[in-house]
Copies of this chain bind each other. A is one copy, B any other.
Amino acid sequence: MFEYLAKSCEGVLMKKNLYFYDEGDGKNKRLLGGKGAGLCTMTQLELPVPPGFVITTEVCKRYYEDGGKLPGGLMDEVGAAMRRLEELTDKGFGDPKKPLLVSIRSGSMLSMPGMMDTILNLGLNDETVEGLTKLTKNERFAKDAYRRFIQMFGKIVLGIDAKKFEDVFEKQKEKIGTKLDTDLKVEDMRKVVEQFKQIVKIETGKEFPSDPLKQLELAISAVFRSWNNKRAREYREYYKIPHDLGTAINVVLMVFGNMGPDSGTGVAFTRDPSTGAKGLYGEFLFNAQGEDVVAGIRTPLKISELEQKYPEIYKQLLDIADKLEHHYREMQDVEFTVEQGKLYMLQTRAGKRTAQAAVRIAVSMAEEGLIKKQEAVLRVEPGQAEQLLHKQIDPKAKVKVIAKGLNASPGAAVGKVVFDSDRAKELENAGKAVILVRPETNPDDVGGIIASVGVLTSRGGLTSHAAVVTRGLGKPAVVGCEGIKIDLEKRIFETNGTTVKEGDVITINGSTGEVIPGEAPLVEPKMSKELLKLLSWSDEFKRLQNWANADYPRDAKRARELGAQGIGLCRTEHMFFEQERLPLIRKAILGETEEERKEPLGKLLEIQKGDFKEILKVMDGLPVVIRLLDPPLHEFLPKYEGLLQEVIMRRMSGGRAEELKAAEDLLKRVEAMREANPMMGLRGCRLGITNPDINEMQVRAIFEAACELKREGKDPRPEIMIPLVGHVNELRTVREQLERVAREVMSKYGEVSYKFGTMIEVPRAALTADEIAEYAEFFSFGTNDLTQMTFAYSRDDAEGKFMFDYIRLGILQVDPFQTLDRRGVGKLMQIGVELGRKKRPDLEIGICGEHGGDPASIEFCHELGLNYVSCSPFRIPVARLAAAHAALKAGEAEKLRYL
């Protein structure tokens, strides 16, 4: 991908190291970074953008290729660009009279919010700061800008501990008895500047660099360096962003939001990122620089307040939003600054949004005619649809709300309180659900947020770090919850009257901002009308059918309501575990003669017939794949270890002889049925060969149920699935035996339509699928077992014993039981599909492993040409959307192929 893009750019663009905004290609985010490309586009749309230029990501790559050195000649080009910038702005870089100040902003192809560094006010030194004072007639402002610059430059470029600067600054505020920066007077600022310069001198052994071009060179290196800092690398690893993309750097004329009460800075979304409602949505801080908003330290005003104070600017923003949405055909997230009443756009990009907003925006935009229905479907990731199906607090439940903050990311979460990211990771590793509670979060907390089921902060707004990151991850969050007082040392937080300790369970409601002590009852969510519409569009484009795994009539009903087009897996043995049935199946297993087994099997026949009749009735007219008995029989018997204990204890305590005898007999029977590796033992179709009577009872029940429904005017479509086939002769033998039973039943009642087929869950079945297809009208990939055999991972053992280490060490990227392993298991599936269809072109092929509800796996199933994917009922909406994505993406790939 990367190479392909690099090559395609080569001829056109690779010769230049930097582009002014009026010349850069706004579509080439790969080269110019997202921010640079956005500024180019906005400039070329004639929106108010401060002049500037962007140094390309190619330069960053060369920086790393050369072992962390700027390419030779780069600074000459930058110098020339600065001269052009001087001309455009009528200012001079380092000119004491009309000093040109610039910001240095990182910006890579893919958004990595807050992960890399930015430096403002660059170009200031002891001389230019005086020029700034004269120009602005505001020494306090100029000195404040200078101290900010020294502080930022000191930390980012010179690597000085930020705390040293903060301590000085806080001490100065204490000295004059205030908590607000704005209370500091010009003389305070002067002192701060002097002390900051002193810190630099002590820490680096050198004077603060005064040459603006030198400052610029150092800053460019530092920003490139920040591409590879630890948190940026972690972020990229989590989001699977390649490490070799590199970042671009924007060098832009400084505009000041902190130039007095007619200045300010803000961020805005063109639609509500939480609900998707149309209209400007955002925040504004008067007399502040941009970082103040994003950092979440001061709680900003809502953007609507800007309308009252600056109706013209608000109107201008609305126009810009409209222009941008029409240009990008996508909701935008913009940053802007007002400098003494004049609006400047500093950034535009596609806005992050909640899943709910994503759905609403996609559907609205399609209805507004901005995008096509296909695009609307593709704009909502299946993972987002999944979030909408997250549980919510039961609206009927009476819960005690102890605090309320901002509803930053919807959904409810229940977990143990932790107060730092390390503890969050620790407990998550131990399998606990945790909620991270922090005054505010910063980029170093990303790992902790990932480890948590939800986040609660006492400070920050809806665009604060915590809010942005949790929305991206689809985790509930409540932010800016000022009603809780966090004491990090005591590891507690207090609200009015309640104390919550680390480890205590709380519930947060990210949809309402409420904080609830203890575990609130959660319920399944309802689907919004927009989601229903999106799913109906999905159904128009998908080629895969969506079937459900359902063992009980109630599950089948729910599945059908959620859009299931069939039942892909009905596990008959689950029915056996129910209370009244277990004794019957035990008798049927332990009976030594056919006679002894006949009576319990007869009772089970009636019960199973009832179950099947219900399910077939619910799914009237749709296929229902019923799998015959699969697990080893000893699963239905008492556990060996328990029996062993009982026998020993009875022996030693000298109880009644007949009870001991019975226990010993049962122990012997269970012992004889024990297996070294039951997963690969006597189960599945092997049982049908060694113990045919249970299978026969099941098939009789299925056909009697179907036949009776047919008589009642229904349209039952049973499909009998024989599990664990590895050799065609197994299938042939079992099928022949069961077809006899089916024909016998139908000869009494009349014909029903039915199919016989098999699971493909043993590697050998996939490898010999042509032979097997001769006796199977359908295949259903049992990818849980197929993954077990292909990897030789016993799932029960792997998940507890080494899977975590494997993922931690990067041996596996994902758990193959979650997402299909394309290279191994997928290859077997491909072989199975090809061979099976070669023998029987109309073979019905599906998947009924858990992968049938996993979007990445569904995409693969589409590529393989399966007929359907089957998953748990509650995942059906996700799977429908994923199936549409797969079809639409494949369509695009198809188109690309023929370009």
Contacts and interface: CB of A to CB of B under 8 A. Distances in A.
Contacts of A771: 823
A678 interface: yes
Contacts of A645: 644, 648
Interface stretch (A67-75, A522-530, A594-602, A681-689): A681-689
A283 interface: no
A762 interface: yes
Contacts of A679: 676-677, 680, 792, 794
Interface in A657-709: 675-682, 686, 689-690
Interface stretch (A32-40, A261-269, A805-813): A805-813
A767 interface: yes
A825 B766 CA distance: 11
Nearest to A806: B689
Interface in A5-52: none
A819 interface: no
Interface string A787-802: 0111111101110011
Given A644-B644, A676-B679, A677-B796, A811 B763 contact: no
A694 to B, nearest CB: 15
A202 interface: no
A792 B789 contact: yes
B791 A726 contact: yes
A809 B727 contact: no
B689 A811 contact: yes
A828 interface: yes
A316 to B, nearest CB: 54
B824 A767 contact: yes
A649 B650 CA distance: 11
Interface string A741-758: 000000000000000000
Contacts of A793: 680, 726
Interface in A611-662: 641, 644-645, 648-649, 652-653
B768 A823 contact: yes
A679 B801 CA distance: 13
A790 B764 contact: yes
B689 A805 contact: yes
A767 B730 CA distance: 25
Nearest to A810: B729
Contact of A785 (B792, B823, B824): B792
B821 A764 contact: yes
Nearest to A682: B801
Nearest to A725: B792
Contact of A824 (B729, B768, B824): B768
A54 interface: no
Contacts of A785: 792
A733 interface: yes
A827 interface: yes
Contact of A652 (B641, B652, B724, B802): B652
Contact of A789 (B648, B790, B809, B811): B790
A820 to B, nearest CB: 12
Nearest to A793: B680
Contact of A677 (B689, B797, B809): B797
A762 B791 contact: yes
Nearest to A796: B676
Nearest to A825: B764
B824 A763 contact: yes
A445 B793 CA distance: 48
A771 B827 CA distance: 14
A689 B652 contact: no
Contacts of A809: 689, 733
Interface in A58-95: none
A253 to B, nearest CB: 49
Nearest to A764: B824
A824 B788 contact: no
Contacts of A730: 811
Contacts of A680: 677, 679-680, 788-789, 792-794, 797-798
Nearest to A632: B797
Contacts of A791: 726-727, 762-764
Given A675-B794, A824-B767, A812 B729 contact: yes
A650 to B, nearest CB: 11
Most buried by B among A645, A648, A763, A824: A763
Contacts of A641: 641, 644
Nearest to A821: B764
A681 B645 CA distance: 26
A726 B767 contact: no
B675 A811 contact: no
Contacts of A825: 764
Nearest to A687: B802
B727 A811 contact: yes
Contacts of A689: 802, 805-806, 809, 811
A651 to B, nearest CB: 9
Contact of A733 (B675, B764, B798, B811): B811
Contacts of A794: 675-681
Nearest to A824: B764
Contacts of A677: 677-680, 794, 796-797
Contacts of A733: 809, 811
Nearest to A762: B792
A797 B726 CA distance: 16
A678 B681 contact: no
Contact of A792 (B724, B798, B805): B724
A805 B690 contact: yes
Given A649-B648, A764-B790, A681 B726 contact: no
A759 to B, nearest CB: 11
A733 to B, nearest CB: 6
Contacts of A644: 641, 644-645
A163 to B, nearest CB: 37
B790 A767 contact: yes
A602 to B, nearest CB: 26
A482 to B, nearest CB: 47
A75 B181 CA distance: 123
A88 to B, nearest CB: 53
A805 B794 CA distance: 26
Contacts of A801: 675, 681-682, 686, 690
Contacts of A767: 790, 823-824, 827-828
Contacts of A675: 794, 796-797, 801
A816 to B, nearest CB: 9
Contacts of A762: 790-792
A809 B729 CA distance: 9
Nearest to A646: B648
Contacts of A729: 810-812
Given A727-B811, A727-B824, 18 more contacts: A645-B648, A648-B649, A652-B652, A675-B796, A677-B678, A678-B797, A679-B680, A681-B794, A682-B801, A690-B805, A762-B790, A763-B790, A763-B824, A767-B828, A768-B824, A768-B827, A789-B790, A789-B792
26 contacts: A641-B641, A644-B644, A648-B648, A648-B649, A649-B652, A652-B652, A676-B679, A677-B677, A677-B680, A679-B792, A680-B794, A681-B798, A681-B801, A689-B806, A690-B805, A724-B792, A726-B793, A727-B791, A727-B812, A729-B812, A763-B791, A763-B792, A763-B824, A767-B828, A768-B827, A789-B792
The 10 A-B residue pairs with the shortest CB-CB distance, nearest first, are: A677-B794, A764-B824, A681-B797, A680-B794, A676-B796, A729-B811, A677-B677, A762-B792, A682-B801, A675-B797
